[in-house]
Structure formats: structure tokens, C-alpha cells
């Protein structure tokens, strides 16, 4: 399980500037790609400390911020409290084996899918939690050679994804208007000092 890994990482999560920059890019891309409105009930799957969700919350009616890591959710809860944010609710939930009776107009997720072994099952679950006409937005790493995460990161189940394949899977689940675009490139420096970019895609679709 990666829960313990993320519990330990939570306190220092927001200290990495590259995470803040990526979250801003992903939030900006979701906001410019989808017609967000202040009537929308949204869920973020794998919210972490809320870097993406808190940027989008002012454009939404409500946001249920779901994660399996209690540590990540504690950091988010502190921010909600300090910033007196009224429309974001942290929720510890594993959607793969726990029920959720709510339905949403928008579900989004950033850099979570590669930590979930059962890709098909979670996509199916997320689509099922959308109302008719609701939007799904998934941001993750483009397929890479396994060099993105260093060995200390636990729970890496996939070395990114081919968005063409994910788009086809969403189509198979009845999603319409499915498209994807590169929204960011994460620059990392290897041991030899060489810089390399890891592209991040945003995949969107509408339940039709």
C-alpha cells in the first residue's frame, strides 16, 4: 500500500515548487478545457494536500476531496480551516472497495492513476459516480521508461499511460467528447546532471 508513503510525505508535500507549478498548470487546463460553473458538485480523486482542488474550488459549488492517506487529508483540513474555505470537504475513502452514494457533475484527478493497479476498475467506478452529462478529467504522466520515480517512492503501479489507450477505454465506458492534450512537462535532472522532461496529459470526457 502507498498510504504510509503518502502519510510520511504529507508534511513536506507542498515544499516542492515543481509540485505547485504542476498543480497550477493542471488546474488551469481543467478550468480552460471544461465549462466549470458554481453550480457544480465535484469530487477530486486522490486530492493529496489539495494543490489542484483548492485552486478549482472557487469555481465550483462544492468539492469532495477524496484520498486514502490520512496524512495528506490532515494537511488539507488544516488549510481549509486556516483559509476558512466553506465548500471543500476532505473524505478518506478507497473508491475501489468502499461505497459512495453521492453523484457528481465533475470528477477530476491529478497524478493518481499511476498509483492504482486496477486502471479499468477505477475508471469504471469514476464514470459511474458521474451524473448524466457530468465531466471527468484525469491528468497523469505520459508513458515513461520507469525513471520518473526514484526507488524510495512506494506504490508506483504504472510507468505512465498512453492517453490514446485511456481515451479508448473511456469511450468503451460510454464517455463522449473524449480528448487529451499535453498540459505540462516535469523537468527532472538525472545523476549525471542532464535535464529531462516528462510530459503530463489531461484526458477529459463527458458522460453521455
- Which residues are at the interface with ligand SAM (CB under 6 A)? 2, 6, 19, 23, 45-48, 51-52, 66-69, 72, 94, 96, 110-112, 115-116
For the chain, the maximum distance between any two Cα atoms, rounded to a whole number of angstroms, is: 50
Smaller CB separation from ligand SAM, 30 or 111: 111
Can you tell me which residue has the cell 480551516?
81
Kindly state the smallest distance separating residue 46's Cβ from ligand SAM, in Å. 3
> Which residue is nearest to ligand SAM, using beta carbons?
48
Asked whether 56 and 106 are in contact (CB, 8 A), the reply is no
- Nearest-angstrom CA–CA distance, 203 and 108: 10
Smaller CB separation from ligand SAM, 116 or 175: 116
Smaller CB separation from ligand SAM, 10 or 175: 10
- Nearest-angstrom CA–CA distance, 110 and 5: 17
Smaller CB separation from ligand SAM, 2 or 59: 2
Q: How far is CA 10 from CA 6, 130, 140, in A?
A: 6, 29, 19
Kindly state the smallest distance separating residue 154's Cβ from ligand SAM, in Å. 10
Amino acid at each position: 500500500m502507498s498510504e504510509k508513503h503518502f502519510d510520511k510525505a504529507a508534511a513536506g508535500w507542498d515544499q516542492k515548487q515543481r509540485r505547485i507549478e504542476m498543480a497550477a498548470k493542471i488546474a488551469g487546463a481543467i478550468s480552460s478545457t471544461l465549462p466549470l460553473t458554481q453550480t457544480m458538485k465535484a469530487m477530486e480523486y486522490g486530492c493529496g494536500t489539495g494543490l489542484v482542488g483548492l485552486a478549482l474550488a472557487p469555481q465550483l459549488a462544492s468539492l469532495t476531496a477524496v484520498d486514502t492517506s490520512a496524512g495528506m487529508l490532515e494537511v488539507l483540513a488544516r488549510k481549509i480551516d486556516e483559509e476558512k474555505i466553506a465548500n471543500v470537504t476532505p473524505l478518506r475513502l478507497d473508491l475501489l472497495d468502499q461505497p459512495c452514494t453521492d453523484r457528481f457533475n465533475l470528477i477530476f484527478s491529478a497524478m493518481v492513476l499511476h498509483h492504482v493497479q486496477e486502471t479499468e476498475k477505477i475508471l469504471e467506478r469514476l464514470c459511474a459516480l458521474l451524473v448524466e452529462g457530468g465531466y471527468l478529467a484525469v491528468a497523469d504522466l505520459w508513458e515513461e521508461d520507469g525513471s520518473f520515480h526514484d526507488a524510495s517512492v512506494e506504490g508506483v503501479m504504472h510507468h505512465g499511460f498512453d492517453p490514446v489507450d485511456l481515451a479508448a477505454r473511456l469511450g468503451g465506458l460510454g464517455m463522449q467528447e473524449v480528448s487529451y492534450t499535453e498540459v505540462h512537462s516535469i523537468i527532472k535532472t538525472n545523476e549525471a546532471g542532464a535535464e529531462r522532461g516528462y510530459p503530463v496529459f489531461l484526458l477529459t470526457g463527458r458522460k453521455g
